[in-house]
Structure 1
């Protein structure tokens, strides 16, 4: 069985071809085709335990248990401490993971958008191994859910990938991320795995509806990355199984919807926690503390923020600030690992302000009754730098292609933003813009490409 697999920064989705021409999106959660890219484990070693159990009686089993022996030796004691029965994994993905994290933020291990970390430079071998385990745990469960629906084994897949997984690191970072995903997919039981740029996948879905040839600039604003692909499309191109000569240019960087959410949280919520205030000495509060709290897609900053030494520093700093009540809120976020919930409120603001003039953000999980009103103007100020960078990516793609596009095809979770469309229009001129399925275009294109190359 052949599928397209969008292992996205925000959501995961799987598609299969029906009757040779229509894409069927498979249900990955109750009533939903899109599963949030999140994982929660009551203890991080339970991720390793889950993968080891899933790999039992496979060619991967012996090597995996040997390589993870140190962690697996302590699993029995961890399971006893957590009162887990033999049937309980202590592991959740998708919406269930988010619910567990909200209920028990300080007790377990929670990761959102793990793909955002796979290309990070400077990862130690044990960190790469753990990201392989996280990806394996998620892909194994998603594949199993898809197979239950289809009633047969899935063996071949095309997985979407950004043009660049990281802003720095280049091809070395990209290869590291591809290796992690390939390892996870093979562990999950895929016999054949190929990768396709996500904006190209979205473009392939758009192309299937074209009646005449066009030069298309695909702008894909995902959760973790923004990618642009300039592609020649249409009836005279879509039958080709090798499209390399049709792709005129690609640009991309690690900047996506998550970064807009982070910017919203930093600029609009962190002043409630002391950002912009002063120490009694008159010096300003260090901005780095607040970036650490919000940068949920930066492994190193999150490790620093939630470390014991940072907690002690914040506690000591309370004596030296002019507004200790505000710093107490930041300390609450640090002690209870609430950064993801803070950024989630930034995301809700972004979504609401796409259509509404203002939004009342609810921060009672930080302090009882704490709210703040956010306006469209504040949204624009918070994300303006990110929008400029996205426009630069589009300009670079057009410059590299050395021709003008006939149309700009927008896809991805943040592509519906009126601010993004206005910024692109101001930057690129009055080129016609079309919105695709903001969440399904990539999956549909991956599925069509998988059917083409594997059938």
Structure 2
């Protein structure tokens, strides 16, 4: 059985082909999307959870590769006084809820896909991300196979998995290969016997192509949670049946800039002044901005490691002694001690979503300080996201310059493109060109599923 698998930075989704077309499968209560998060009471327990749930035939090789982690997992389970079968690793909204309940006690990762192409990862870090991705794929695959109507069709064995044009802005093809290798290995350990990959903007465009009645040159702009990808593609009735589409791909670009970057930028602009950013020391110098950035840079491994360190805590404690507004810096210290950075970014994400429908949002930050509210306007949001917005514009220009043609239509998709601020920037680039807005969340999965049918059926 084959599927289209969107392992996204913000959400994951999986689709199957039925007589009526593509069907996205429910992965969470009332939703076809699973939030891309994982929480473990201890990071060593992730390997244990993978071992317990992976196909029996693969366990021996995995146990050999993860012998050290599995031993440490047994020790961690004893130290945490957990029962042998007590769940210790959670994914999706259950992971978010576990983190919000115990932010300082466990291991939480949001948008693990954002890290897969990171440069300078050590061997043990790559192994950790392999396990995180495997754990999430195992969960999603098991959820899909258990659904009524599918459980009689046997195991899901084949998948087309989406990937961005570039997983990282730096690192080039080496980063892309590292990320794709992690995804391929994780899929194998999760029980997929054969996988193929397809650029996400092309997948999104293929779903749109199914609706075309005449050939068009389409600029696909896919602004996702972790990356933005643009592709210029020949589409239409004379192209859609071909299994070899490389000649139709005229130009593409991609970079790790997306909804996560908007959330981080908004956190800095809207929230960090309430924690002391912009204040001054008694000697007249401004408070250093680095601790504030590290607190919310949830897609930067080194920044998160730095912020959680004892040295960072000592630095903030010293700043409190010398600050003109020490009461504000004490809030930053609480964020450091209780590891609340992810929660702050989550608040920014919720504000961003709310600003799609209103001009002003007031959000409560009482988990940082009682009765602390922050007001965010559309104007402030646009100012905060100026840099990532400019990067998205540059990617559109790059794809069109590579293609050497102008598009007949611009097809916009991806969850982040729901933001009016982002849509307006895209529309202003070529005001004379028609814009079609696709299913912001489901178009990539639908396209992957259609391609899986061509590749595996």
Question: After TM superposition, is the score higher than 0.5?
Answer: yes
Secondary structure of 1:74's counterpart equals: helix
Residue 369 (1) aligns with residue 371 (2): yes
Residue 256 (1) aligns with residue 258 (2): yes
> Structure 1 residues 430-439 or 21-30, which shifts more?
21-30
Secondary structure of 2:230's counterpart equals: strand
Q: Could you report, residue by residue, the CA deviation over 1:56-77 in whole angstroms, capped at 9, with x for unpaired residues?
A: 631x322322222222223333
* Counterpart residue number, 1:35: 34
Does the 8 A contact of 2:351 with 2:363 survive in 1? yes
Shift of residue 83, structure 1, vs aligned partner? 3.0
* Counterpart residue number, 2:46: 47
Q: Could you report, residue by residue, the CA deviation over 1:274-298 in whole angstroms, capped at 9, with x for unpaired residues?
A: 1111111111111111110111011
> Structure 1 residues 312-321 or 72-81, which shifts more?
72-81
Q: Distance in 1 between matches of 2:198 and 2:69?
A: 34
* Counterpart residue number, 1:353: 355
Does the 8 A contact of 2:54 with 2:138 survive in 1? no
Q: Distance in 1 between matches of 2:9 and 2:47?
A: 22
TM-score, with structure 1 as normaliser: 0.98
Shift of residue 419, structure 1, vs aligned partner? 1.6
Secondary structure of 1:249's counterpart equals: strand
From 438, 441, 447, the counterpart of 1:439: 441
* Counterpart residue number, 2:6: 6
Shift of residue 316, structure 1, vs aligned partner? 2.0
Secondary structure of 2:103's counterpart equals: coil
Secondary structure of 1:359's counterpart equals: strand
Q: Distance in 2 between matches of 1:212 and 1:5?
A: 28
From 231, 234, 247, the counterpart of 2:233: 231
Does the 8 A contact of 1:199 with 1:227 survive in 2? yes
From 150, 155, 158, the counterpart of 2:157: 155
Q: Could you report, residue by residue, the CA deviation over 1:302-333 in whole angstroms, capped at 9, with x for unpaired residues?
A: 00011111111111221011111110111111
1:16-415 matches, cutoff 5 A = 16-19=16-19, 22-55=21-54, 57-58=56-57, 60-149=58-147, 150-151=150-151, 152-415=154-417
Does the 8 A contact of 2:287 with 2:319 survive in 1? no
Q: Could you report, residue by residue, the CA deviation over 1:73-128 in whole angstroms, capped at 9, with x for unpaired residues?
A: 23333213323223223011000000000000011000000000000000011110
Shift of residue 417, structure 1, vs aligned partner? 2.0
Q: Distance in 1 between matches of 2:333 and 2:42?
A: 23
Q: Distance in 2 between matches of 1:375 and 1:420?
A: 15
The number of aligned residues is 453
Q: Which runs of 5+ in 2 are unaligned?
A: none
Secondary structure of 2:219's counterpart equals: strand
Secondary structure of 1:195's counterpart equals: strand
For the aligned residue pairs, the C-alpha RMSD in angstroms reads: 1.1
Does the 8 A contact of 1:225 with 1:255 survive in 2? yes
TM-score, with structure 2 as normaliser: 0.97
Secondary structure of 1:373's counterpart equals: strand
Cα 1:70–1:452, aligned 2, differ >3 Å: closer, same or farther?
same
Q: Distance in 2 between matches of 1:353 and 1:61?
A: 47
Shift of residue 398, structure 1, vs aligned partner? 1.0
Q: Could you report, residue by residue, the CA deviation over 1:186-237 in whole angstroms, capped at 9, with x for unpaired residues?
A: 0011011000000000000000011111110000000000000110000000
Q: Which runs of 5+ in 1 are unaligned?
A: none
